Structure 1
Amino acid sequence: MLRHRLAGLLAGALLISVAGALPAHAESERTSYINGWILHKESNRWYDSNSDSAWTGVYFEGCSTDADFSYAGLHLYKDVSWNPDVFKGSRTNYCGWVDWNDPDDAGQYYFALKSLANGEALWVNQVRIGW
C-alpha cells in the first residue's frame, strides 16, 4: 500500500514539474499574406483579450518589393474608438519574426507598414500574427 502511495506521489510531482516547464501558448494566431502594400497600409484588426502573458508578434516569409527587399518597418497600434490609436512600438522586420512583448492591455490591435527599404510596394507570401 505504501509503495502505491509513493508511486502516485512521485507521478504527480513529475506531472506538475513537466507541466510547469512547458512554454505558455499564445492566445491565438492568424495567417495571411501581403499583396502590394504601400506605406501606411494597415493590417486587419485582431482582438487580444490579454488572458495570458504571450507576446504579440508578426512573422514574414517570402518577402519582396518592386526593387530589392531589405526590410520593412512596422508599427503596432491598439485601436481606440473615437480617440487616437495607442502606439505600442516599432520593429524592423528583415523577413522573419518580430515581437512587441506582451501589450498588457486587452483590445483590438493592428500593425501598419511605416517604412520600406528598397521599393515602394511590399509583397509577403506568408504573414503569421500571434498574440
Structure 2
Amino acid sequence: MRVSRLSCAALTGAVATTVFGVVPAHAEGSKTTYLSNWATSYESSRWHDTNKDSASTTVRFSGCSIPSSPGTKASAAVSVWKDVFGPDTNYGSKSNACSSTLSWGDRANGDYYFRLDKINGASGAGTFHLNAKTVTIKW
C-alpha cells in the first residue's frame, strides 16, 4: 500500500492536534460589507453570535469619506446593540471607527447589529452622510 506525502502530512497534523491540543484561534464569525451614503441612526443587518468562543465583537471601517465633501477626513462613532424583544440592549458607543478596530468584548448568545451614531462628531440627522469602502464585523 502506497501512502502519499500529502496523506502523511494530514495524518501527522491530526495526531499533533489531538496530542498537543493545538487549535487555531479565530473568531466564530465575520462579515465584510460596505456603507454607502449612510446617515446617523442607520442600522446594519443583524448577525447571530452563538458565543461558542471568547472572541470579542469588533467593528472596523476603512476607506471612509463624506460624499458631499470629497477629501474631508471622516470619523465615525458606532454602537453595538443586542436585538431583543422590547427595547434593544445598547453596549455603548465608540469613536474613530474609520481609523481603528472598535471592540465590545465577548458578547452573550444572541442577535446583534451596529448603529451609526456620529459622523465627524455630529449626531444630527442629515448633517453628514458617510461612505466606507470596507466594513468588517467579527464576533
- What TM-score bracket applies, with the shorter chain setting the length? 0.7 to 0.9
Q: Which residue of 2 aligns with 1:127?
A: 135
User: d(CA) in 1 for partners of 2:99 and 2:46?
Assistant: 21
Number of residues of Structure 1 aligned to a counterpart in Structure 2? 115
With structure 1 as the length reference, what TM-score do the two structures score? 0.78
1:31 and 1:111, CA in 2 relative to 1: closer, same or farther beyond 3 A? same
Alignment of 1:1-131 (within 5 A): 16=20, 19=22, 22=24, 24-65=25-66, 66-67=68-69, 68-81=72-85, 83-92=86-95, 93-103=97-107, 105-117=108-120, 120-131=128-139
3-state secondary structure, aligned to 2:20: helix
CA distance in 2, matches of 1:77, 1:120: 22
Q: CA deviation at 1:89?
A: 1.8
Structure 2 gaps, min length 5: 1-14, 122-126
Q: CA deviation at 1:97?
A: 1.4
Q: Secondary structure at 1:53's aligned position in 2? A: coil
Cα distance between partner residues in 2 of 1:94 and 1:36: 15
Structure number having the greater strand percentage: 1
Contact 1:74/1:113 (CA < 8 Å) preserved in 2?
Answer: yes
Could you list the per-position Cα deviations for residues 41-81 of structure 1 after superposition, in whole angstroms to 9, with x for gaps in the alignment?
A: 00000000111100111121111013323310101000012
Q: Which runs of 5+ in 1 are unaligned?
A: 1-10
The CA distance in 2 between the partners of 1:122 and 1:57, in whole Å, is 19
Contact 1:34–1:122 (Cα < 8 Å) also in 2: yes
Q: Does the CA contact (< 8 Å) of 1:48 and 1:108 recur in 2?
A: yes
1:115 Cα deviation from its structure 2 partner:
0.7
The alpha carbon displacement at 1:101 in A equals 1.1
Moved more, 89-98 or 43-52: 89-98
Identity of aligned residues (%): 36
Q: Could you tell me how far apart the structure 2 residues matched to 1:87 and 1:61 are?
A: 23
Runs of 4+ in 1 over 2 A off after TM superposition: none
Note the aligned Cα RMSD (angstroms): 2.1
Which residue identity lines up with residue 111 of structure 2 in the other structure?
Q
Q: TM-score, normalised by structure 2?
A: 0.74
